[in-house]
Amino acid sequence: MNAVEIEEAITALADQPYDAAEFPFAFLLAFGNKDTTIKRLRAGSSNKSDLGGVLQANNIHIKTCAEGQANATLAALRDSPATARAKAKFILATDGTEFQAEDLTSGEAIICAYADFPNHFGFFLPLAGITTVRAIRESAFDIRATSRLNRLYVELLKDNPDWGTAARRHDMNQFMARLIFCFFAEDTGIFSGDATFTRTIDTMSARDSSNTHEVIGALFHAMNTRPEDRTAEGIPRWADPFPYVNGELFSGTTEAPRFSKIARSYLLTIGGLDWTQVNPDIFGSMIQAVADEDERGALGMHYTSVPNILKVLNPLFLDDLRAALEEARDNGRKLLNLRNRMARIRVFDPACGSGNFLVIAYKELRAIEAQINARRGEADRRSEITLTNFRGIELKDFPATIARLALIIAEYQCDVLHRGQREATRDFLPLDSKNWITCGNALRLDWLSICPPTGTGVKLRGDDLFSTPLDQAEVDFENEGGETYICGNPPYLGSKWQSLEQKGDLKNIFDGRCKNWKSLDYVAGWFMKAADFGSHTPAAAAFVSTNSICQGQQVPILWPTIFGTGHHILFAHTSFKWANLASHNAGVTVVIVGITSGPSPIRSLFLLSDDGETIRRETANINAYLVAAPNVEVQGKSRPMSGQAVMQFGNHPYYGAPLIFSVEEGRRIVAGFPQAADFIRPLYGSQEFINAAPRACLWIADENAEAAAAIPPIAERLKATAASRRAAIRDKAAQKLAETPYRFRDQTTAEGHVLVVPRVSSENRPFLPIGLLNAAAIIQDQAFALYDAPLWNMALIASRLHLVWIATVCGKLETRYRYSNTLGWNTFPVPPLTEKQKSDLVACAVSILLAREAHFPATIADLYDPETMPDNLRAAHDRNDETLERIYIGRRFRNDTERLEKLFEMYTKMTSKKVGDARA
DNA sequence: CATCCGACAATTT
DNA sequence: AAATTGTCGGATG
C-alpha cells in the first residue's frame, strides 16, 4: 500500500462506529497488513500481548480500554515487559473517545480525540514500512489533502462530464485552485473572521446539495468584484464579508460544477482540514496527481525533494548570494545593493510542474532578504522580491494553475514568517492579476519572450501557435541589468520511448546543428534551449537530468553542440539515485549539471562519498563526463584505433528465443534424439559467463538445416522462431530472418578459443570480467567476443587502466559498467607494443587464468567479489597492471585520476593526429 | 549490418 | 523491502 491508500483506509476506519474489539485488527489492516497476518493475530498464535491487547512483534502494541482509561492504559503498555520483548516500535491506547499513542523509538507522542487520529497518520507510517522518505512523514497534511481533493475531483467529473472535456478542463482546474485558495485563506486569516468559506457553504447550501454550485458561484463572483461594484452586480448579502481577491484566479467564469451529496460532503470535509499546515512545495508536487489519471496512484512520482532542489539552486546562485550577505556584514550600503540585486533576479523553470523549484527559490530569497532587512533595522518592510520574477512553463494545465497558487501561498507564508501576521494580511489582497506561469510546450515556446532579455522588447512568439495561447504569457516586464537563473527537473525519455511529437520537438531544436540527435534523451532539449537562451542574455542554467546525457554515445552528440555556443559546465553533481514517494523506489539515476557562458574561473564538482556524504571539489574545468579534466568527447569507432584485436558483438538471436533453452532441456532433447547433439552448443551472455552457468542453444550450419529440421523437438523450435520473427511485422530484418529460422541473426564462432566480455556488469568488482572459452562456446549478444584473439588483448581488458577508461567513456546502466566495443575498446589508447611486451602481457593473462583455475569451480562473480577476492588472483592482477602501466609511463600510476589523465591525453593526441593526416 | 539504451526489471538477500 | 545486478527488444546510425 502506498501512503495515499493508507490514508484512505484509516480515514474510513475513523468514520465507522467505534468497535473496541475490532479496532486493533482494523487498524493493522488499514496499515497494509495481509489478511493472513491479521488472522494469525486474531487466533492468538502471533499475538504477543500480555495485557489482553494486540501486540504485533517488531511493530505495535495496541489496547482498547474503558472510557477515561486511555492514559493509564498507555502507561501500562509502556511498562509491559511484552512490549520490550517483542521490540514494539509503537504503543497505542484508545477508549473510542480519546486516542493516545507513542513512538517508542523517538519518544514522540500523540494525544487527540479519537475522530482526529487520521490526522496523525504520518506518525504511524513506519508501520507500513514507509520510513525512508522523511518528507512523507513530515507532510502528512499534504497527503491527506491531496487524497481528499482527488476524490472530490473524480466525484465532480462523474456528475459533470462536460467539465472533463478538453474545452472545460481549464475551468475545472481553476475551480479546484480557487477552492484550495479559499480553504487556505479562511484558515490563515487572509479572509477576515466573518468570511468563513466552508461554514458559509455548509449553512447556505441545501443539505440535498441541489444549490451548492450556486452558493460557491456567488462566493467566487463576490471575490471577483470590487466592493463598490457589488450592489450593482447583485452580490447576496451573505457573500459580502468575502474580500475582493481577483488575481486572475477569480476572473473568467465564476460558474461552479454541480455537486452530488457525496461531493458536497467531501467538500466540507476538505474545508475542515487545517490548511495552515499546507506546505506549498510538497503539496504542489503531490497535487499534480489530482487531475492526472496517469499519475493517480503513483503519487509523487516526479516529486523533487527539497534537498534535491537545493542541490540545484545553491550552487546556481543561492550560495553566491549568501556569501555576499556574509561579506556585507552590517554595512547598510552593501546590504542595500544586495537587496536591489536580489529584487532583479529572475528564476525561470521551463518544466515547472506545480512550481516547487520556484517556490523553494522564492522562499530562500525571502529568507536572505529578511536577514538584510533585519540588519538594516527594517524588519517589517514590504518585500522587494516580486512573484513576477518567478516564471515557469508547464505543459499541463492543472499543475500550471497550481504553480501560480503555490507561489501565492508561499508569498503569504513568507510574509507571515518574516514580517508578521498583521502586515502579511494587510498587504495581501487583492492579488496581482498577472500570469507569470505559461501553459505550453517548453521546447516549442520562445524562452526569450517569457523571460525577455534586458533592454529589448521581445514579444511572446510561440513556434507552434496551436499549442501556445498567445495571451497567456503577456507579461511585459523588462529586467534591466538583472540576472536570470534557469532551473528545474525536466522530463527524461530515452530516444526510443519518445512519441512522434516529442521527436519533433527535438528535431526542431537540433536538426542541422548536430548529427545523430535522434539518439538524444528528451531532456537534452532543455539544455540546448538553455544554452541558446544564454547566448542572447547573461544567464546560468542547471537541471536535474538522467545521467545518460553525460555518458557514452550522447556525450559526443550533445556536449560539443552546447560548448559550441560558448557555454561551459559551471558545476555538476555526479550520479545519485533518484528518490520519490513511491514505496519501492526504483527509477532512475540522475545528475545535476549547471551551465553558463559567463566567467567562472572556479567550478564545483559534487560527488557522493562512500558513506553518502556530499563532497565538493573545486576544479579548473568539468568535462562532459562530469570529470575534473579538460574537455574530451570520445566518439565511437567501428575499428580499433591502436592495433588491438577486433572485438565483435555477440550472436544476436533476433526474435530467436526458441533457439535458446536450458542445459537440462538440451540433455532431454539429446536423450530422445542422440543425433541432435551435433546441433546443440553451450551459450554464453553476460550472466552465463559471470556465473559460469551456460544455457544451451541450437547452432545449425546452413548445410545442416534439413538434417536438423528432421528432428521433431528441433523442428518445433524452428517453427516457433519463424513464427516470432514473422510476428514482428514492422521489422524488415526480422521478416527476412524468418526464412532461416535455424540460425541466429549472426553466426560467428571461434576456430580455437574466444575471449568473452560481458556487456553489462556490476560496478562493485575491482576489475572488468573477461575470460577465455573454448571454440564450442557460442557468444550471445549480451557479451562481446574476441574470436581467436592473442591473449595480450585479455591483459588489456583485465587491467585497472582499462576499467577506468570504460567506466568513464562508456554508457552505464544506472551505475553499472556497460561495455562497448565501439566507444570503449576501439577507442582505448594503447601505445605501440613490441613482441616482447606482448609476450609479457600474455604471461600476465595466463597467470590470471591460472590463479582463477586454482579456485575451481568458483565463478567470476565469486572470484571478483571485492570482499573475498583471493590473494593469488589479486597478485596476478597486480602483476598485470604493473607490466602494462610500465609500458605506458615506465612506472605505476599513482591513482585513477592519473590513469584517466594519461588516457585522455593519449586519446586527444591520437584523434588530433588523424585530423592532421586527413588534411595532408 | 551492428549496437546502445532503458523516470528499468528481475532476482537475491 | 532493500539491495544487487544484468535481460531483451528494436530503433537508430
Which run of H or E residues covers position A812?
A: strand A812-813
Which nucleotide does the CA of A583 lie closest to, via C1'? C1
Which nucleotide does the CA of A688 lie closest to, via C1'? C6
Helix axes A500-510, A524-536, angle to 10 degrees: 30
Residue A531 sits in the same domain as residue A617: yes
Checking if the pLDDT of A295 tops 70, the result is: no
- Span A622-680, pLDDT tens digits: 999 999 999 999 999 999 999 999 999 999 999 888 999 999 999 999 999 999 999 99
A624 touches strand B (CB under 7 A): no
Can you give the pLDDT at residue A913?
67
Residue A478 sits in the same domain as residue A618: no
Can you give the pLDDT at residue A458?
36
Residue A687 resides in a domain:
yes
* B strand bases under 7 Å from protein CB: 1-10
Residue A313 sits in the same domain as residue A410: yes
What mean pLDDT is predicted for residues A756-768?
A: 94
Which grid cell sits at A780? 550471445
d(CA A148, CA A144): 6
Can you give the pLDDT at residue A302?
54
Residue A311 sits in the same domain as residue A450: yes
- Span A299-354, pLDDT tens digits: 444 567 788 899 999 999 999 999 999 999 999 999 999 999 999 999 999 999 88
Checking if the pLDDT of A40 tops 90, the result is: no
Domain edge (last residue) among A444, A460, A486: A486
What mean pLDDT is predicted for residues A147-165?
A: 89
A553 touches strand B (CB under 7 A): yes
Can you give the pLDDT at residue A580?
58
A661 CA → B12 C1’, Å:
22
**Strand B proximal residues, A:270-299, Cβ < 7 Å:** none
Please tell me which residue, A405 or A848, carries the higher pLDDT value: A848
Residue A152 sits in the same domain as residue A229: yes
Can you give the pLDDT at residue A469?
37
Checking if the pLDDT of A382 tops 80, the result is: yes
Can you give the pLDDT at residue A464?
31
Please tell me which residue, A142 or A286, carries the higher pLDDT value: A142
Q: What is the pTM of this model?
A: 0.85
Residue A134 resides in a domain:
no
Residue A586 sits in the same domain as residue A700: no
d(CA A54, CA A82): 11
A38 CA → B6 C1’, Å:
40
Residue A70 resides in a domain:
yes
Residue A793 sits in the same domain as residue A674: no
3-class DSSP assignment, residue A641: coil
C-beta separation of A53 from A63 below 8 A: yes
Can you give the pLDDT at residue A34?
73
Residue A289 resides in a domain:
no
Amino acid at A893: F
- Span A512-554, pLDDT tens digits: 999 999 999 999 999 999 999 999 988 999 999 999 999 999 9
d(CA A311, CA A491): 18
Which nucleotide does the CA of A131 lie closest to, via C1'? C1
Checking if the pLDDT of A920 tops 50, the result is: no
DSSP states along A324-370:
HHHHHTT-HHHHHHHHHHHHT-EEEETT-TTTHHHHHHHHHHHHHHH
* Residue A901 domain boundaries: 634-650+753-920
C-beta separation of A61 from A82 below 8 A: yes
Residue A250 resides in a domain:
yes
Can you give the pLDDT at residue A198?
93
C-beta separation of A77 from A52 below 8 A: no
Can you give the pLDDT at residue A123?
76
A149 CA → C3 C1’, Å:
36
List the Cα angle A69/A71/A73 in 5-degree steps: 65
What mean pLDDT is predicted for residues A464-470?
A: 33
Taking C1' of C4 and every protein CA, the nearest residue is: A762
Checking if the pLDDT of A202 tops 80, the result is: yes
User: CB neighbours of A890 closer than 8 A, spacing ≥ 6?
Assistant: none
What mean pLDDT is predicted for residues A879-885?
A: 98
Taking C1' of C5 and every protein CA, the nearest residue is: A762
A171 CA → C6 C1’, Å:
48
Can you give the pLDDT at residue A890?
96
Q: What percent of chain A has pLDDT over 90?
A: 58
Sort A640 into a burial class: Cβ within 10 Å, 0-12 / 13-18 / 19+. Answer: middle
User: CB neighbours of A299 closer than 8 A, spacing ≥ 6?
Assistant: A2, A3, A4, A143, A146, A286, A289, A581, A582
Domain edge (last residue) among A428, A453, A486: A486
Residue A396 sits in the same domain as residue A513: no
- Span A228-248, pLDDT tens digits: 999 898 899 899 999 998 777
Can you give the pLDDT at residue A482?
85
C-beta separation of A252 from A217 below 8 A: no
- Count the Cβ atoms, other than its own, within 10 Å of residue A716: 11
A56 CA → C1 C1’, Å:
18
Rg (chain A; Cα; Å): 33
Which nucleotide does the CA of A577 lie closest to, via C1'? B7
Residue A795 sits in the same domain as residue A905: yes
Which nucleotide does the CA of A759 lie closest to, via C1'? C6
A746 touches strand B (CB under 7 A): yes
Taking C1' of C11 and every protein CA, the nearest residue is: A496
Residue A435 resides in a domain:
yes
Can you give the pLDDT at residue A50?
86
Name the pLDDT band for A285 (thresholds 50, 70, 90): low
Residue A794 sits in the same domain as residue A908: yes
A134 CA → B12 C1’, Å:
27
Residue A256 sits in the same domain as residue A341: no
Can you give the pLDDT at residue A476?
44
Q: Average pLDDT of chain A?
A: 87
* C strand bases under 7 Å from protein CB: 1-2, 4-13
What mean pLDDT is predicted for residues A719-746?
A: 87
Domain edge (last residue) among A486, A502, A522: A486
Can you give the pLDDT at residue A45?
77
Can you give the pLDDT at residue A524?
96
Amino acid at A41: L
- Considering any atom of strand C, list protein residues whose CB lies within 7 Å: A 32, 129, 131-132, 495-496, 498, 503, 516-519, 583-585, 652-655, 657, 685-687, 690-691, 728, 730-731, 758-762, 764, 781-782, 813-814, 816, 861, 865
Residue A43 sits in the same domain as residue A105: yes
**Strand B proximal residues, A:451-510, Cβ < 7 Å:** 489-497
Name the pLDDT band for A869 (thresholds 50, 70, 90): very high
Residue with cell 479562511: A186
A731 CA → B1 C1’, Å:
14
Nearest to A153 by CA among A263, A29, A309, A283: A263
d(CA A540, CA A535): 10
d(CA A266, CA A308): 34
Checking if the pLDDT of A474 tops 80, the result is: no
Please give the tally of structural domains in chain A: 6
Can you give the pLDDT at residue A147?
79
What mean pLDDT is predicted for residues A686-706?
A: 93
- Span A169-197, pLDDT tens digits: 888 988 998 999 999 999 988 888 888 89
Tell me which of A281-295, A465-479, A520-534 is least confident: A465-479
Residue A198 resides in a domain:
yes
Name the pLDDT band for A298 (thresholds 50, 70, 90): very low
Residue A291 resides in a domain:
no
Name the pLDDT band for A1 (thresholds 50, 70, 90): low
A854 touches strand B (CB under 7 A): no
| Beta strands A568-577; A603-608: pairing state | parallel
